């Protein structure tokens, strides 16, 4: 049995789908009865579990042999860093005496030691805690999600693509479904398939490329409007981020722009930026 955290999300749902298509038994872990009902009548069983309850989560892990671990994003209206570190601890504490033989951990490009740099540091903490469990650990570091562009569709229709990054800055991107496919593959691979794998889309893109793709599908000119660095924190606050979260996300943006470690040979997904934007705007 494969245990899948975040089974109703963009990545976890694809993990479940891929395993189901392969005829593998999976247990979808979700955070509400409403989410669980979506699995009723299908081939995949679902269980409601709170990832902040280590004992309850350990009982779920004991029902399988391998698990996909995803640390949910913290609420940005509060201290998102503290929230993510707390769930990182809770999930990895649940690994003790779980009986799992292998885990696949969802992480991010740029994961690094430190504190207060958004996902880059909270997911590095998640990686390290997972490895410390002594269970065979495969780590999938994913590039910037195409789905982050969804909120830009409306301003793009007006001719502007807001971004924290300069138009020419190349940022590896990936569709979450491709991350789910690779996670399902590594769940089923030999137990010694461990360590870090980087995953991104078929090619690398800049926000200028993204603007050009939106322009093509919208049939109008779209230009990148880059937010100056000194305005980053205030921009996050204006969309509801707390002071702590705004500071953390601004630091993460700076770390990505100033020193992004780009792997020479990542695993390449299939979904292109063009395909994603076409589905997003109906082009």
Domain membership flag for residue 259: no
Domain membership flag for residue 260: no
Distance CA(92)–CA(129), nearest Å, equals 6
Contact 195, 138 (CB under 8 A): yes
Beta bridge partners of 137: 103
Domain membership flag for residue 233: no
DSSP for residue 158 = T
Nearest CA to 173 out of 137, 136, 146 is that of 146
Report whether pLDDT(260) > 90.
Answer: no
Please state the domain count of the chain: 1
Distance CA(46)–CA(282), nearest Å, equals 32
DSSP for residue 219 = T
Distance CA(172)–CA(261), nearest Å, equals 10
Asked whether the CA dihedral 13, 199, 250, 171 is positive or negative, the reply is negative
Query: In 133-242, where does DSSP find H-type helix?
Result: 153-157, 176-188, 207-218, 232-238
Domain membership flag for residue 273: no
The per-residue pLDDT for 31 is 87
Pairing of strands 173-174, 223-226: unpaired
Taking residues 158-187, report their average pLDDT: 96
For the chain, the distance separating the N- and C-terminal CA atoms, rounded to the nearest angstrom, is 40
DSSP for residue 141 = E
Taking residues 142-162, report their average pLDDT: 94
The per-residue pLDDT for 172 is 94
Contact 13, 29 (CB under 8 A): no
The per-residue pLDDT for 44 is 86
Domain membership flag for residue 27: yes
Domain membership flag for residue 167: no
3 state DSSP class of 225: strand
Distance CA(173)–CA(219), nearest Å, equals 23
pTM for the full predicted model = 0.94
The per-residue pLDDT for 90 is 97
Which tens digits make up the pLDDT trace of 96-130? 999 999 999 999 999 999 999 999 999 999 999 99
Contact 274, 203 (CB under 8 A): no
Contact 112, 169 (CB under 8 A): no
Which tens digits make up the pLDDT trace of 187-225? 999 999 999 999 999 999 999 999 999 999 999 999 999
Cα–Cα distance list, 259 to 215, 255, 276 (Å): 29, 6, 27
Mean pLDDT of the chain, nearest integer:
94
The per-residue pLDDT for 49 is 93
- Residue 139 belongs to a domain with what CATH number? 3.40.50.720
User: Which residue spans within 52-133 are E strands per DSSP?
Assistant: 66-69, 102-108
Taking residues 233-246, report their average pLDDT: 96
Range of the domain at 124: 2-144+174-200
Taking residues 20-36, report their average pLDDT: 91
* pLDDT interval class at 283 (50, 70, 90): low
Taking residues 175-196, report their average pLDDT: 97
Which backbone phi and psi does 23 adopt, to 5 degrees?
75, 20
Domain membership flag for residue 119: yes
Domain membership flag for residue 191: yes
Report whether pLDDT(38) > 90.
Answer: no
């Amino acid at each position: 049995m494969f245990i899948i955290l975040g089974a109703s999300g963009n990545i976890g749902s694809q993990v479940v789908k891929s395993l189901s298509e392969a005829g593998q038994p999976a247990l979808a872990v979700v955070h509400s009865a409403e989410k669980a009902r979506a699995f009723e009548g299908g081939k995949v069983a679902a269980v409601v579990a709170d990832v902040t309850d280590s004992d309850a989560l350990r009982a779920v892990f004991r029902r399988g042999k391998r698990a996909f671990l995803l640390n949910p994003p913290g609420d940005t209206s509060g201290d998102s860093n503290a929230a993510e570190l707390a769930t990182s601890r809770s999930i990895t504490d649940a690994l003790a005496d779980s009986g799992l033989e292998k885990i696949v951990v969802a992480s991010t490009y740029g994961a690094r030691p430190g504190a207060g740099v958004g996902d880059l540091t909270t997911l590095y903490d998640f990686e390290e805690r997972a490895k410390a469990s002594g269970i065979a650990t495969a780590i999938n570091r994913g590039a910037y999600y195409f789905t982050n562009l969804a909120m830009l569709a409306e301003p793009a229709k007006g001719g502007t693509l807001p971004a924290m990054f300069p138009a020419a800055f190349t940022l590896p991107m990936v569709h979450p479904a491709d991350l789910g496919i690779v996670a399902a593959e590594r769940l089923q691979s030999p137990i010694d398939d461990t360590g870090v794998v980087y995953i991104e889309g078929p090619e690398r893109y800049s926000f200028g490329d993204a603007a050009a793709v939106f322009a093509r599908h919208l049939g109008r000119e779209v230009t990148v409007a880059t937010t100056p660095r000194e305005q980053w924190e205030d921009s996050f606050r204006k969309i509801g981020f707390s002071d702590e979260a705004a500071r953390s996300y601004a630091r993460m943006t700076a770390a990505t722009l100033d020193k992004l470690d780009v792997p020479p040979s990542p695993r390449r997904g299939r979904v292109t930026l063009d395909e994603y934007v076409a589905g997003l705007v109906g082009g």
